[in-house]
């Protein structure tokens, strides 16, 4: 799958605040042998076939539709809401989105690499606090979905790399 690697979060990651607070976090990256802007990465990520499938599921399951045009507007910093997410933080090379329930975060970062660009994708899952015990817990489906989430993360980054390589060949 285009050498998608699971790794530690970079020190500069906007997801580190969640890791430090005890939330689950993960991080994957893929290298691409050309220069990719953060905006190009965001646009490619949210318009790949795997993610379009997720967008369709969100449209029908929770009435949170989105379009490729909205993905471009998000990439350009012109909108703050996209499908089931809102922008929590943005830097020149990073984007941190929170879902509308504030339980999960999605993070994208593009940084220069030795021969091109390294594209990072990570997630955070914030524990629920039990109203009675005040204990933080991840929820019933968390462990069951982890294997799928890791595979899906790799599929997404592979699809992004394919899309960006095709765009580079065409340009």
Residue whose C-alpha is closest to residue 4's, from 39, 29, 21, 22: 29
- % of the chain at pLDDT higher than 70: 92
Give 14-31 pLDDT, tens digit per residue.
999 999 998 999 999 999
Q: Which domain holds residue 103?
A: 5-170
pLDDT per residue over 50-109, tens digit each?
999 999 999 999 999 999 999 999 999 999 999 999 999 999 999 999 999 999 999 999
Query: Taking a C-beta distance cutoff of 8 angstroms, is the pair 31, 113 a contact?
Result: yes
2 pLDDT more than 60: no
Q: Provide the domain count of the chain.
A: 1
Q: What is the CATH number of the domain that holds 128?
A: 3.30.530
Predicted structure pTM score = 0.92
């Amino acid at each position: 799958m285009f050498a998608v690697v699971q790794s530690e979060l970079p020190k500069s990651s906007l997801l580190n605040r969640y890791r430090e607070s005890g939330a689950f976090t993960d991080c994957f990256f893929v290298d691409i042998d050309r220069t990719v802007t953060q905006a190009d990465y965001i646009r490619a990520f949210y318009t790949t076939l795997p993610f379009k499938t997720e967008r369709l599921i969100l449209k029908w399951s929770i009435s949170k539709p989105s379009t490729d045009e909205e993905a471009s507007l998000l990439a350009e910093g012109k909108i703050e809401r996209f499908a089931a997410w809102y922008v929590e933080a943005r830097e020149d090379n990073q984007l941190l989105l929170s879902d509308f329930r504030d339980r999960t975060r999605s993070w994208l970062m593009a940084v220069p690499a030795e021969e091109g660009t390294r594209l990072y994708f990570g997630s955070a899952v914030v524990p629920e606090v039990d109203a009675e015990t005040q204990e933080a817990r991840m929820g019933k489906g968390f462990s069951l979905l982890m294997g799928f989430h890791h595979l899906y993360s790799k599929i997404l980054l592979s699809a992004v790399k394919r899309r960006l390589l095709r765009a580079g060949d065409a340009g």
